[in-house]
């Protein structure tokens, strides 16, 4: 006889529920639907108009309450601001089937894990924390795209309570989206992402605020070009989402800000002193590092 398919591969595709059908949640649903990896998609959210739009776009099959999602779904993705994690999980828990798995797309992990433990208690093993390193400044269902995760990195921070089946199943779903899955612990995730994800948004927003607050802001913005556009693009992200991320990862953010401030002081001193060699060395190191990263990322 020929090789047998794994039990999970041969089973009926799962029912997926997405709590928060915007760019992240909607793209997850679209990618899995396109791959034939889900049989049905339920959309959960506060905005009924947004959910109706998601249905019209084909991202979901039906709107559902948190109770209905807990009772009907095999997989639940939380694509909500990290500050809402505990509240959502507490609403799901009383109705949650024992075989349902929950994952999330939150940009911080230590606080999300703590919230999940508080909300789920002994059922924490059903929650596999995750963070897709992908996104855009657009929001809402219309921003969703099935290829968003193709070639992107997805960080999972599995818990000791997650069994092998739970880890494997969530990994397979992200891989079906075309993503590469990397495993980390929650604390390491938060330190690293503070540097390369959270702080860029913070600095971009602070700079955009400074320009927009200037007396001649209209003139500045009228003359702004592609460099300004590229540097400030991420400042257009969701204020609610990024507020929660900054506060949730505050200690790591403050540590990174201190290092950036020290670097800025060094560059400013070279400029004030008119030290061309120091300023050139500073700019050269930054340029070489950026070019190396750019060439490496294109190969991935």
Residue with tokens 């950026």: 290
pLDDT band at 196 (very low <50, low <70, confident <90, very high): very high
Mean pLDDT calculated for residue range 149-172: 97
pLDDT for 102 beyond 70: yes
> Structure pTM?
0.84
| Residue 223 tokens, joined | 């003359």
Structural domains of the chain, with CATH: 7-184 (3.40.50.720), 189-299 (1.10.3660.10)
pLDDT for 134 beyond 70: yes
pLDDT for 11 beyond 60: yes
Residues 53-101 have pLDDT tens digits of 999 999 999 999 999 999 999 999 999 999 999 999 999 999 999 999 9
pLDDT for 300 beyond 80: no
Order across the sheet with 75-78: list the strands. Answer: 62-63, 40-44, 15-19, 75-78, 101-104, 127-128
| Residue 235 tokens, joined | 């400042």
4: DSSP letter: P
* Structure confidence at residue 241 (pLDDT): 85
């Amino acid at each position: 006889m020929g090789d047998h398919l794994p039990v999970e591969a041969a089973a009926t595709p799962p029912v997926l529920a997405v709590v928060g059908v915007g760019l992240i949640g909607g793209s997850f649903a679209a990618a899995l639907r396109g791959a034939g990896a889900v049989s049905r998609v339920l959309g959960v959210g506060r905005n009924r108009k947004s959910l109706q739009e998601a249905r019209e776009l084909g991202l979901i099959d039906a709107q559902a309450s948190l109770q209905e999602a807990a009772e009907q779904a095999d997989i639940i993705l939380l694509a909500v601001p990290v500050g809402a994690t505990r509240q959502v999980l507490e609403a799901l828990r009383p109705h949650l089937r024992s075989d349902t798995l929950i994952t999330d797309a939150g940009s911080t992990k230590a606080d999300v894990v703590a919230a999940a433990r508080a909300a789920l208690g002994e059922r924490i093993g059903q929650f596999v924390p995750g963070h897709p390193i992908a996104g855009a400044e657009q929001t809402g269902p219309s921003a969703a795209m099935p290829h968003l995760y193709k070639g992107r990195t997805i960080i999972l921070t599995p818990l000791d309570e997650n069994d092998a089946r739970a880890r494997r199943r969530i990994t397979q779903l992200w891989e079906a989206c075309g993503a590469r899955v990397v495993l980390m612990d929650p604390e390491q995730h938060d330190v690293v992402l503070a540097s390369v994800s959270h702080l860029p948004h913070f600095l971009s927003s602070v700079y955009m605020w400074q320009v927009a607050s200037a007396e001649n802001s209209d003139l500045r913005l009228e003359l702004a070009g592609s460099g300004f556009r590229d540097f400030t693009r991420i400042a257009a992200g969701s204020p609610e989402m990024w507020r929660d991320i900054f506060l949730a990862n505050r200690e790591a953010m403050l540590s990174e800000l201190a290092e950036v401030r020290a670097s800025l002081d060094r560059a400013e001193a070279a400029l004030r002193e008119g030290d061309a060699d120091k300023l050139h060395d500073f700019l050269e190191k930054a340029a070489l590092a950026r070019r190396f990263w750019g060439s490496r990322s294109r190969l991935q």
